[in-house]
Chains A and B, each alone.
Chain A
Amino acid sequence: MITYDRVTKRYPDGTVALDELSVECPAGEITVFVGTSGGGKTTALRMVNNMVEPTSGTVSIDGEDVRSRKPAQLRRGIGYVIQQVGLFPHRTIVDNIATVPYLLGWNKKRARARAMELMERVGLPSTMASRYAFQLSGGQQQRVGVARALAADPPVLLMDEPFSAVDPVVRAELQEELLRLQSELRKTIVFVTHDIDEAIKLGDRIGVFRTGGKLVQFGSPETLLTDPADEFVAAFLGRDRGIKRLSFLAAKGLPLRDRPVLPADSPSSGAASAAGDETWLLAVDAGRKPLGWVSTEDLAGTATIGDAPLHPIGHPFDVETDSLRAALDAAVLSPAGSAVGVDSGGAVVGVVSQEELGAAIRGGFGGGVT
C-alpha cells in the first residue's frame, strides 16, 4: 500500500504543484491519477520513487517513508514506465529488460533468462531479443518498457502516461495487456493519465486532480460516474458520463428474443408469419452465426430469406462478458434497432431492441458489476 500523508510540493518560485495530498493506493490494485495538466499527478507519482521530494508531508510504502531508504536502493524495487519509454539505444532489447537484475547483481545468464521470460509474458517474439530499440515500433518499445519495469518483480509499478504516444488501436491492445498482466501479477500500480476513458478502463480507484495540485475526488470509477464531487469532475468525465457508466453494468441477464432469428434457408413464405409482428428478421447460418438483417418488406418474390438483401449487423455483443454499453452500442448501430447477442462461440443467442435496453437501463438493470 502506498500512503500519501498531507503531501505538499511547493517550488521556490511559489508554484504549488501538489497541495496537501492525503490518499491511500491499495496494494494489488491499479490507482489512476487523472486530471488537467499542472494538476500535480505526475509530481505525486514521482514522489513514490523519490524522484521528487515533498516540501512537507510523507509518502510511504507499506508504512515505511520512502525517504528513509537510499534512492538507488528504493528505485530498484519500484518499476517505472514513462511515455517516451526511455530505452537505452546502445543495449539490445534483452539487455534493456535485464537492466535492474544487472543492477541487483544477478549473473548475466540468470538476468537474461528472466528477460526472455518477460518478453514472452508481454507478447514480444524472442527473435527480438538481440535487436536494438530503434528497430521496434512504438507499441513494441512500450512492451519492452513494461517488461523492463517488471524484470526484478517489484511489488510497486509506477506508470506515467505510458500509452499516450501510441495510436488508439495499439493503445487499446496495451491496455488489455496490462489488465491481463495485472490479473496474474497483482502489483500495486499507480498510473497517471490525462485520458478519462483510460482511467475508467484501467482504474480500480481513480483520483481526479485539478490545476493547483488539488485532489478533487477519489473513488471507484462507478462512484465517479454516478456521483461526481463537483462541476469540475462532472465536466472532466464528459457529456457521455451516463453512457460510460453502462460499462460497469453487465449485459448478462438482458431479456433476449429469439423469434426473429431464422436460418437463411427458411422459406420466405412462412417467415413473416413465424416472426409475428417483427419487421426485421436476423438470418443465421447453419451454425447460428449471424449473416445479416432482412426487412420483411423485402421478402416478396424471394424463395428463402437469405435471398433478400442482407443488412450488416454492425457488431454483436457477447451475452456473457460484454457490458450494457456494448449492447446499447450494438443496438444503436443496427439498422433493425436491435442488438445481436452471441455466445462465446459467436452463435446467436437472441436479439434485444433499443426499447428493451432502455427499459432495462431505466429499471436500474444490472446483472452485476463487471
Chain B
Amino acid sequence: MKWDWVADHVPDLVELTGQHAYLALLPVLFGLLISVPLGVLCVRWPKLYPPVFGGANLLYALPSIALFIVLIDYTGLTSWTAIIPLTLYTFSVLIPNVVDGLRSVPDASRQAATAMGFGTTRRLVQIELPIAVPVIMAGLRVATVSSISMVSVAALVGLGGLGQLFTDGFQRDFPTEIIVGIMLTVLLAFVCDALLVLAQRLLTPWARARVASR
C-alpha cells in the first residue's frame, strides 16, 4: 500500500468517485421511474405481471459486459452505454418490490378509501403508494448497492468510474490502486445505503414504529 500515491491523486479519486456515483445512481432513478408505473399496471391487470416479471428476470441474466459491448455500437463511449443496461437491471430488481408493495396495502384500507370518495389516481398517490414505500425501499437499497458494484465493469469498455482503478492497477501491476478502488466503491455503496435508510425513516415513521413495537 503506497499512501503517497493516494495523497498525490486525491483530486483524481474524487472525480472518479463522482463519475462512478453518476453512472450508478442515474440508472437507479430511471429504473424507479419505469418500475413504479409498470408495477401499478401489473397490479391493476394481474395477467400482465407474469410476463413482465419473467422478462425482467431474463434481463437480469444477461451478462453486463456483453450488454456494454453491444451498446457501444449504438451509443458509443457515452454514459448511456452504462446507464441503459444498469437501468434494466434496476428495473428487474425493483419490479417485484413495487408489485409486492402495492399488494401489501390492506384490502380493507383500499376499500375504505374507495368508499370515502377517493378517485383511482388520488387513492394510488395518497394511500397505496405511501403504504408500499417500505417494500419499495427495500428493493431500492438492493438495486442501489448492486448498481454501484456493477458499474465498475463499465471500465472494461472504457466508460470511466472507479472501475478504471482496477483496469489500470492490473495493467501496471500496482495493488494500491486496486485496493483504493475497492475501498471507495464499498464506501460509496455504504454512504448511499445509509442515505436511503435515513430517507425511509423520515418518509415512513409509521413503519419504524411498527417494527419497534414488535
The tally of residues in B whose CB lies under 8 Å from a CB in A reads 25
Produce 1/0 per residue, A207-237, CB < 8 A to B.
0000000000000000000000000000000
B112 neighbours in A (Cβ, 8 Å)? 80, 82, 85-88
State whether B111 touches A82 (Cβ < 8 A): yes
A73 neighbours in B (Cβ, 8 Å)? 117
A71 neighbours in B (Cβ, 8 Å)? 117
Produce 1/0 per residue, A266-298, CB < 8 A to B.
000000000000000000000000000000000
Q: Which residues of B46-65 have CB atoms within 8 Å of chain A's CB atoms? A: none
Is B88 interfacial (CB-CB < 8 Å)?
no
State whether A88 touches B116 (Cβ < 8 A): no
Task: Given A86-B106, A132-B206, decide whether A72 and B119 contact each other with a Cβ distance below 8 A.
Answer: yes
**Closest chain B residue, CB of each to CB of A73:** B117
Smallest distance from the beta carbon of A254 to chain B beta carbons, Å? Answer: 46
Task: Given A85-B108, A87-B109, decide whether A80 and B131 contact each other with a Cβ distance below 8 A.
Answer: no
- Total A-B Cβ pairs within 8 A: 73
Smallest distance from the beta carbon of A104 to chain B beta carbons, Å? Answer: 8
Produce 1/0 per residue, A127-157, CB < 8 A to B.
0000010110000000000001000000000
State whether A76 touches B213 (Cβ < 8 A): no
Smallest distance from the beta carbon of A134 to chain B beta carbons, Å? Answer: 5
State whether B213 touches A72 (Cβ < 8 A): no
A91 and B109 alpha carbons, distance in the complex (Å): 11
A201 neighbours in B (Cβ, 8 Å)? none
A87 neighbours in B (Cβ, 8 Å)? 109, 112
Chain A residues close to B by CB (< 8 Å): 49, 51, 71-76, 78, 80, 82, 84-91, 99-100, 103, 132, 134-135, 148, 158
Q: List 16 A-B contacts (CB under 8 A).
A: A72-B118, A75-B115, A75-B117, A76-B117, A82-B111, A82-B115, A86-B108, A88-B109, A89-B106, A89-B206, A90-B127, A90-B133, A90-B207, A100-B116, A134-B210, A158-B115
Chain B residues close to A by CB (< 8 Å): 106-119, 122, 127, 130-131, 133, 204, 206-207, 209-210, 213
